[in-house]
Amino acid sequence: MTSNSRPGPAGPGSGGSKKHDPPYVRAFLLVVALFGPAVSPPLALQRVDEYRLKAAVLYNLAKFVEWPDEAFADPAAPLVVCVLGVDPFGAALDDTLRGHSVGGHATVAKRIAEVTPGCHVLFVANSEAKRLPAILERTRTSSVLIVGEAAGFIDRGGMIGLATDDDRVRFDVNLAAADRARIKISSRIMALASSVRRGEERVR
């Protein structure tokens, strides 16, 4: 089971990577390490490309998520971050994940045109926003962390919605959707989120 307890340049616990994180990842980790739950969103985009920071956010979110054991074919299986639709990240996502691991699972990026088995994190590109209901139905019985950036993403059933506002990046969390997928999101993520939704209620 993927489990993480604290951030750091080499990753939390035994799940971290052995090489140094790139500067934009170190910046994100430093903020969390220094201030932890006291950090109030949003996180500023400081001279870094929007999707490089969002790639780093995806990587760090994965560190604080627990998947059921059966989500991985075996203990050595990689943790796969899939991008569904028109990829906004380019090489940034590959650069962020390459050589790193989460909970002992190497992190890899994969681009897909349709929902396929084997994804642990599924980033739904804006090009697929209209298909979100069908995408959620296809993943209904799978333990997949569904992330996107379309307006109202968590209100429509997504688990984590990313947004930028005045050169800042925010994220919202839908706990009920994660619970249904048997995915556990750390309280550290809750503390950094702009809002947290449980069922029909926004708890903060």
Q: What is the pLDDT of residues 135-149, one digit of tens each?
A: 999 999 999 999 999
**Residue 82 confidence (pLDDT) above 90:** yes
CATH T-level fold of 13-198? Rossmann fold (3.40.50)
The DSSP letter of residue 92 is H
> Phi, psi at residue 172, to the nearest 5°?
-115, 150
Residue ranges of the domains in the chain?
A: 13-198
Query: Rounded to an integer, what is the distance from CA 115 to the centroid of its chain?
Result: 17
Q: How far apart are CA 191 and CA 134, in angstroms?
A: 30
For the chain, what percent of residues have pLDDT higher than 70? Answer: 73
More reliable by pLDDT, 10 or 103: 103
Q: For residue 173, what are the β-bridge partners?
A: 160, 196
User: 131 CB contacts (<8 Å, ≥6 apart)?
Assistant: none
Is the peptide bond between 42 and the residue preceding it cis, with omega within 30 degrees of 0?
yes
